[in-house]
Chains A and B, each alone.
Chain A
Amino acid sequence: MEKIYVDHAASTPIDERVITTMIEAMKNQYGNPSSIHSFGRDARKLLDEARQTLAQTIEAKPNEIVLTSGGTEANNLAIFGYARANKAKGNHIITSAIEHHAVLDACKQLEKEGFRVTYLPVNKDGYITKEQVEENMTDETILIAMMHANNETGVIQPANEIARLAKEKNIAFHTDAVQTYGVLPISVKEMQPTMMAVSSHKINGPKGIGFLYVKEGTKLIATFAGGEQEKKRRPGTENLPAIAGFATAAKVALEEREQRGSFYQHLTDSFVSALKEEEVPFQINGDANHRVPHIVNIYFPWTTVESFLVRLDFAGIAASSGSACTAGSLDPSHVLTAMFPEEGRAQSSVRFSVGKGNTKEEMEYIAREIKKMMKTI
């Protein structure tokens, strides 16, 4: 049985070019970038080049890139680091109910530390509005954290507008761009966020690496203590092979972004058409016209997601729903629950996220398998 992977929002296969870069780095630049000898300098050179490349992908300066172990750490560093460093300015944070847990749980922790957090509810289309943010701003508000696109529905949030609003009011703005980096055009010059979190393994790079863009002059308190790396904002010897691989993945993603974007759109559109063709009852969750091209979240009435996903797996199809919770069981998606609080829709919805290796034929195959499954519910 041929297997079909449509869970690219969870993780992606590593690009061959990235693997080559990483192997080269492991073989040749094994020194510690902080060492004073030639091995150290070689490693430092590779690190600086990678940082330069990563900075260019979002039109940032190299010193604005803080390398982290991935999206979660980048989001944590933004929320904890900014709030703790700026609590003299105020104690209020605005975020949304549909953020990734890396943001939500960090905010919950800050509440225990005395901060007040507003979690904005979301409309049925799956996005937050600038007006909602505006209505909830107070003199105490120091930080607004709003994701660029949601990881479950793919719905794009008005991050640009909110960033502008925040700037006008002199409030810091952080955006979690894990699902949009490499997919949508992103320029920090244009959006002007204070911070932005990005991850490597969503764009065919290695796991365990990401970065937080931090606008020059922004004060952060590091979550780790140790060496001088990343200007003390993230101590610890740099994960050089992963950083080099990440830079290659980012460079490739940027070069191929437009053609990837239209290919992903073609795949998800084909999938939706195929479902219609097969006369499968379904609805797309969230505004279908404002989503990233690679993610489509679909509600299949009368299904139960826990058995639906297992049956897809039996058919060799890898998709997902919500976020895995304790002991492998599924928590109803907090995102879909926020969008449809009255309905059991979260229990009947599946996320499909496509990537470079997928084909239109695969999309049609998945639709046919779902049709078969729907007959025996």
Chain B
Amino acid sequence: MSVKRKEDTRVVVGMSGGVDSSVTAALLKEEGYDVIGIFMKNWDDTDEFGVCTATADYDDVIAVCNQLDIPYYAVNFEKEYWDRVFTYFLNEYKAGRTPNPDVMCNKEIKFKAFLDHALTLGADFLATGHYARTRRTADGKVQLLRGVDDNKDQTYFLNQLSQSQLEKVLFPLGELTKKEVRHIAKEKGLATAHKKDSTGICFIGERNFKEFLQSYLPAQPGKMVTPDGEIKGEHDGLMYYTIGQRQGLGIGGAGEPWFVVGKNVEKNELIVGQGFEHPDLYSEGLYASSVHWIAGEEIEQPLTCTAKFRYRQPDQQVTVYPAINGETKVIFEEPQRAITPGQSVVFYDGEVCLGGGTIERAVKGESVLQ
């Protein structure tokens, strides 16, 4: 591979109009790369007054690109997003699970459709404002490393990336903390320096989650029962509840507060139990599907490493077993609370993100040994 000079190296920056991608573009430009800003439009929420949040975000992209004196464009992936991310999102909720659209968006849109678009434009690299790092090993593999800011590390959402994707990716913010990024933005006077971080799922934004979901999936109210089958009331629809969640049950009474401990999709029942530490919330292992190893090779022996079952959770010690019929067994050293089907399980070796998969079901007791 011939080494290009920086000014001949074209980097497409995926710009969202937020502070992170703005600083990403600024840093790369400062380093001397041939930087191009591209805004992805994945969702249309234009209301009856013609207001669309993407328009305001794109205006911020334009403002920053003009400050940096780089060309900017937009690309529309609404159809791809709908087909590959939103459809998955709805199907998972229909199945009573809790999907992770950010993982799917990274896998299918940002680092697939968008990366392809960038490469078609002659880009050498695609850069994004993710808090993560990459490192090339002696044998030529690319490793995905956690961002140095523990609190912001986003490798959890990047666990499905492959070697061919990582080879083409730059994450300049991986070496920085969020505080430093804000500081750089202010120092450079970037138009987005004081912009609030976006929260929640991108296509829902600040809207009411329940109302949003209701407009796409019919709510099917049903019974709320204890693990022993005692009816405790009604639920509004299984999709509105997440395992381990306390709020929203609407049952008071004496004793400890109530928590969602399970879902019976066939009977459309929400299973509830009393106490944060309710035993049904705990499991000793899980089965995952579509487990992907970033290095590109399946494991052949049981692997001891750490894992996260949700974003920002401290790492937990686990043993991962080689996949059988597409299912990967993961056994925990300590019982884990509220393992949630549909969410990602992501594996780490120190600072290296090894890969991950989708949680199918939690297992406990006897079945762990099978």
- In the assembled complex, the CB of A317 is this many whole angstroms from the nearest CB of chain B, namely 14
Flag whether B74 is at the interface (Cβ < 8 A): yes
* Chain A residues closer than 8 Å to B54, beta-carbon distance: 326-327
Chain A residue with the shortest CB-CB distance to B74: A328
A304 touches B122 (CB 8 A): no
* CB-contact partner of A327 in B41, B117, B120, B121, under 8 A: B41
The 5 closest A-B pairs by CB, nearest first: A328-B74, A329-B76, A327-B54, A327-B58, A329-B41
B75 interface residue (CB < 8 Å to A): yes
Contacts of A325 in B (CB 8 A): 76
Identify the interface centre among B39, B54, B71, B76: most chain A CB within 10 Å of its CB.
B76
Q: List 22 A-B contacts (CB under 8 A).
A: A306-B75, A306-B76, A307-B121, A311-B121, A311-B122, A313-B71, A313-B73, A314-B122, A325-B76, A326-B41, A326-B54, A327-B41, A327-B52, A327-B54, A327-B74, A328-B39, A328-B58, A328-B62, A329-B41, A329-B74, A329-B75, A330-B74
A329 to B61: give the CA distance in the assembly, Å.
Answer: 13
- Please indicate the chain B residues that have their CB under 8 angstroms from the CB of A307 in the complex: 75, 117, 120-121
- B76: chain A residues at CB < 8 Å are 306, 325, 329-331
CA distance A304 to B121 in the complex (A): 11
Interface contact B41-A304, CB-CB below 8 Å = no
**Are the CB atoms of B73 and A326 closer together than 8 Å?**
no
Q: Note all chain A residues with C-beta closer than 8 A to B39.
A: 327-329
Q: Which residue of chain B is the closest to A313 with respect to CB atoms? A: B71
Question: What is the predominant secondary structure among interface residues of chain A facing chain B?
Answer: helix
Is A26's CB within 8 Å of the partner chain B?
Answer: no
Indicate with 1 or 0, residue by residue over A292-328, a CB within 8 angstroms of chain B CB atoms. 0000000000001011001101100000000001111
What is the count of residue pairs linking A and B with beta-carbon distances less than 8 angstroms?
50
Q: Chain B binding site: helix, strand, loop or mixed by DSSP?
A: mixed
Please report the C-alpha to C-alpha distance between residue A313 and residue B73 in the assembled complex, in whole angstroms.
10
CA of A313 to CA of B74 in the docked complex: distance in angstroms?
13
Cα separation A331 to B44 with both chains bound (whole Å): 12
| Bound complex: CA A350 to CA B73 (Å) | 16
B residues 150-177 in Cβ contact with A at 8 Å? none
Interface positions of A (Cβ within 8 A of B): 304, 306-307, 310-311, 313-314, 325-331, 376-377
Residue B317 at the chain A interface, CB threshold 8 Å? no
B interface with A by C-beta (< 8 Å): 39, 41, 44, 46, 52, 54-55, 57-58, 62, 71-76, 117, 120-122
- Pick the most buried of A328, A331, A377: most chain B CB atoms within 10 A of its CB: A328
In chain A, what residue has the closest Cβ to B52?
Answer: A326
Q: Determine whether the beta carbon of B44 is less than 8 Å from that of A326.
A: yes
What residue in chain A is nearest B42 (Cβ atoms)? A329
How close is B145's CB to chain A, nearest CB, in angstroms?
Answer: 31
CB distance from B110 to the nearest CB of A (A): 15
Cα A328 to Cα B120 with chains together (Å): 19
Report the bound CA distance from A205 to B62 in whole Å.
Answer: 27
Chain A residues with CB under 8 A of B62:
328
Residues of chain A within 8 A (CB-CB) of B73 are 306, 310, 313, 328
Cβ contacts under 8 Å, B55 to chain A: 326-327
**Do the beta carbons of A314 and B121 come within 8 Å of each other?**
yes
Query: Assuming the A-B contacts A328-B74, A330-B76, are A304 and B120 also in contact, with contact meaning beta carbons closer than 8 angstroms in the complex?
Result: yes
How far apart are A346's CB and chain B's nearest CB, in angstroms? Answer: 12
Least CB separation from A377: chain B residue = B120
Please give 11 more A-B residue pairs, beta carbons under 8 A apart, in addition to A307-B117, A307-B121: A306-B73, A310-B121, A311-B120, A313-B71, A325-B76, A327-B74, A328-B62, A328-B73, A328-B74, A329-B74, A331-B76
Q: How far is the CA of A327 from the CA of B57 in the complex (A)?
A: 8
- Docked complex Cα distance between A307 and B71 (Å): 14
- Write out the residue numbers on chain B whose beta carbons fall within 8 Å of the beta carbon of A331: 76
Report the minimum CB–CB distance from B174 to chain A (whole Å).
Answer: 27
Alpha-carbon gap, A5 to B147, bound state (A) = 44
